């Protein structure tokens, strides 16, 4: 199975290094020196990682055959794709690969169907499940312990316990006093 593990960013310096936007929880395994990665578009690869290092919190890679800034800039926005065994599991028991979570049925604890996971969005603060509902609409479910109660890969389902308003906006509870404060600050001179 092929999975996108990174996107190449801008060139760094003059010796062919590039920044990469990491899209894997295991960069040391997937993006280490010697790794051969397919690319999207395919015409740009395959690329073999020559060196890698972290600089100011960003992963920098240099690929074999790319020796200068011009060559590095030509790689910008290319996706790096690794071959992954679909049966492989992450080391931690509460971690999952995206391909394991895709197409899981999402249900409430009482069995009420919410929809099916169609996408996983990795944000800086948390991951989100994009869930397609039976009516075709989408709902975003934060992948956090307080909401995602259970992932059952054998049954192909994800059990959630959402707060009021996450699934049905009519159940939302507004907990703000901003409107009350602004009402009292009329035209006082």
Can you say whether the dihedral through the CA atoms of 162, 168, 169, 174 is positive or negative? negative
- Check if the beta carbon of residue 148 is closer than 8 Å to that of residue 128: no
Region for 136 from its dihedrals, namely left if φ exceeds 0, alpha if ψ lies in -120 to 50, beta otherwise: left
- pTM for the full model? 0.58
- The tens place of each residue's pLDDT in the chain, 189 residues long, gives 787 888 999 999 999 999 998 877 778 878 889 999 999 998 888 999 999 998 888 899 999 999 999 999 999 999 999 887 767 777 777 778 787 888 999 999 999 999 999 988 877 778 899 999 999 999 999 999 999 999 998 899 999 999 888 887 766 666 666 655 555 555 554
């Amino acid at each position: 199975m092929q999975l996108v593990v990174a996107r190449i960013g801008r060139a760094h310096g003059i010796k062919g290094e590039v920044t990469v936007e990491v899209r894997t929880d295991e960069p040391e395994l997937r993006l280490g020196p010697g790794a051969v990665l397919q690319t999207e578009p395919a015409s740009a690869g395959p690329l073999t990682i020559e060196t890698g290092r972290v600089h100011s919190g960003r992963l920098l890679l240099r690929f074999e055959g790319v020796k200068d800034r011009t060559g590095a800039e030509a790689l910008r926005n290319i996706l790096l794709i690794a071959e992954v065994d679909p049966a492989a599991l992450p080391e931690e028991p509460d971690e999952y690969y995206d391909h394991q979570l895709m197409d899981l049925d999402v249900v409430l604890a009482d069995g009420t169907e919410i929809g099916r996971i169609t996408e996983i969005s990795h944000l800086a603060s948390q991951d989100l499940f994009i869930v397609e509902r039976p009516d075709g609409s989408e709902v975003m479910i934060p992948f956090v312990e307080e909401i995602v109660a259970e992932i059952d890969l054998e049954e192909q389902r994800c059990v959630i316990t959402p707060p009021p308003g996450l699934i049905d906006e009519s159940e939302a509870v507004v907990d703000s006093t901003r409107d009350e404060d602004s009402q009292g600050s009329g035209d006082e001179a």
